[in-house]
Amino acid sequence: MAEEQDKNPIEDEAQLEPEAPEEAVESNEELSLEAQLEAAKQEAADAKEQALRAAAEAQNARRRAEKDAENAKKFALEKFAGDMLTVVDNLDRALSSADRSNDDLKPMLEGVDLTLKGLTDALAKHNVEAVDPTGEPFNPEYHQAMAMVPSPDAEPNTVIEVMQKGYTLNGRLLRAAMVVVAKAP
């Protein structure tokens, strides 16, 4: 029995020692697996966020490109329309300075008038609109003040005369109207 008692503690110790490292290994493996699982979850979340950001960026780029293309289409005539405004001004001046009482000039004046009307209609067809602010409050975004004149009849800071019409293209200012503004007497 003494031998058995001597063997049992050794066998018991031998039995305990292998189990402890196995449990430790098992517990380390579980921690390692849990850590790997957490790392994989975090990596998946990061990848999902990157994919969402990339999709949003692509959508924003597409919208910007569409808006740029629309603006290019809308304002492609800007330079040409600006050049045509001097023709409109010259025809307007020709009509305003002509002697309408002279019967010999009536056919020519009718032709100039029809030419002016055709040109303004063509510009209007392409969304070029005249800005004639007579009687409106002065707006520095659309008007260029050439002079301020004391006027007892008009409200201060009101346009009383248009020296040159302004024009817009699709709502964007093409040329500011040159105006005379009323001031308090």
Same domain, 67 and 83: no
What are the distances in angstroms from CA 95 to CA 9, 51, 104, 111? 126, 66, 15, 10
Q: In sequence order, what E strands does 17-165 have? A: 128-131, 143-150, 159-164
Measured over the CA atoms of residue 19, residue 23, residue 29 and residue 33, the dihedral's sign is positive
159-164 and 177-183 strand pairing: antiparallel
Same domain, 86 and 69: no
Longest dimension (CA), the chain: 151
What are the distances in angstroms from CA 146 to CA 103, 123, 149, 176? 36, 26, 10, 11
Q: Which residues contact 161 (CB under 8 A, 6 or more apart)?
A: 134, 179, 180
**Alpha helices, H only, 100-159:** 106-125
Looking at 74, 108, 132, the residue that finishes a domain is: 74
Same domain, 69 and 109: no
Residue 101: band (very low, low, confident or very high) from pLDDT cuts 50, 70, 90: confident
Same domain, 119 and 52: no
Task: Give 53-69 pLDDT, tens digit per residue.
Answer: 999 999 999 999 888 88
Rounded to whole angstroms, the Cα distance separating 149 from 181 reads 6
Looking at 18, 42, 74, the residue that finishes a domain is: 74
Same domain, 56 and 37: yes
Same domain, 68 and 89: no
Q: What is the CATH number of the domain that holds 83?
A: 2.30.22.10
137-159 average pLDDT score:
90
Same domain, 118 and 148: yes
Look up residue 136 and give its two tokens: 């409106």
Domain membership of residue 27 as a residue range: 1-74
Domain count, the chain: 2
Look up residue 93 and give its two tokens: 């001046």
Are 158 and 143 in contact, with CB atoms under 8 Å apart? no
Q: Beta-carbon neighbour count of residue 31 at 10 Å?
A: 10
Task: Give 2-26 pLDDT, tens digit per residue.
Answer: 454 555 554 554 454 444 555 555 6
Measured over the CA atoms of residue 136, residue 141, residue 143 and residue 149, the dihedral's sign is positive
Looking at 43, 74, 105, the residue that finishes a domain is: 74
Looking at the predicted structure, is the pLDDT value of residue 155 above 90? no
Same domain, 80 and 8: no
Task: Give 28-56 pLDDT, tens digit per residue.
Answer: 677 788 888 889 999 999 999 999 999 99
